[in-house]
Amino acid sequence: MKKPIYLDNNATTRLDPLVFEKMKPFFEEEYGNPASQSHCYGWEAEMAVKTARKQVAELIGADTQHVFWTSGATESNNLAILGIVKNLIYSRKKTPHIITAATEHKAVLDVFKFCEQLGAEVTIATVNEFGQLELSHLKQLKKENTAFISLMAANNEIGTLNDIESIGKWCRENKIIFHTDAAQATGKINLDVKKMGIDLLSLSGHKMYGPKGIGALYVNLDNPDVKLSPLMFGGGQEGGLRPGTLNVPGIVGLGEAAHLALKNFEQENEKSKKLRDFLIHEVLTHIPQAKLNGHPSERLSNNVNFSFKDLPADLFALGLSGLAVSSGSACSSKSAGSSYVLKAIGLEDSLAKSSLRIGLGRFTQKEDIELCCSKIKGLFNHI
């Protein structure tokens, strides 16, 4: 059976063959534990981990020793938020006030709910019609006890970019610890944690043509206020911050994915933008019922999200056969109801339920997008 054309690259990406080639030896010949320091198997594994750590650090403008391995962005988010908030609660007399946005991934929103149970004062901020948390609004929300802000660099459903550089600099000026979930943004926008005032940054391998089950957390160890309590115990790996035997093949894969993202950054993003803009233009020009969700220009180069007025759900599914696309976040697709992200930007329920997310990728071709346009246009020939 012929598989559909894959256009769901915001959910996950194909493992790049070049990444796979780098990983293979660490499954077969170089299978040592980097913690084993008495023989060459361990030394070679340790060297590979060091190389990968440097590659990831270079992609985000970080110091190598500030990158810590995790199982993915969900764990990185949990470690960053809970690690900071638990320490703030235990070490301060005042209740810490923490802020995030209503359009964040569940891996942030659910952690904030738990932080409230721990005793933190939580604010879930509203966003503008494009899904951005504006700095002016943040300034209004700030309190005397505001200590921590978590804001995604790019939204996983609608692709909107937040102005994390302005927000990060403002946080630094006000001695507020700033975390960004950059799972969608890493490799697609220029990230410089020092320039942007970022204290903690989460990223994931499988969103950038690396393997699943591996991610990283950047921690600004130069900021004395950034003190993380570990979530797990039982070993000294990763400075005691994240104990457990390192996933060497995964780490090597993430390192190579970061290297390729940096090497091909300009070329890849230019290609994605052209295809993205072609798709948006074709759909909005020929389908009056279509609405583009998210910011028209301040968005990921590979993300398009439409809603369609008066489109029956059965035609929606049938008309897009042959395309692997999404109606929202992969992590929320099993939940009943319409997208909370689309509702947060003001869409009525009927429009939120008739949404379509198209995620372009490294291996997407012009003919794939032309076919996608044709199928979307064809939906409305039956109404």
Q: Would you call 89 exposed, middle or buried from its count of C-beta atoms within 10 A (0-12, 13-18, 19+)?
A: middle
62 contact partners, CB below 8 Å, separation of at least 6: 56, 193, 194, 201, 218
289 contact partners, CB below 8 Å, separation of at least 6: 308, 309, 310, 311, 380
**Distance from C-alpha of 251 to C-alpha of 183, rounded to nearest angstrom:** 16
Other CB atoms within 10 A of residue 172 CB: 17
The answer to whether residue 115 is catalytic is no
Which residue has tokens 């000026």?
173
- Spatial CA neighbour of 160 closest among 201, 181, 127, 132: 132
Among candidate residues 40, 171, 331, 373, the one labeled active-site is 331
Secondary structure letter of residue 154 according to DSSP:
B
Token pair recorded at residue 33: 């534990």
318 contact partners, CB below 8 Å, separation of at least 6: none
Token pair recorded at residue 75: 């764990």
The C-alpha R_g of the chain, in whole angstroms, comes to 21
- Cβ density class 344-360: b for 16+ within 10 Å, e for less: bbebeeebbbbbbbbbb
Question: Could you list the active site residues?
Answer: 331
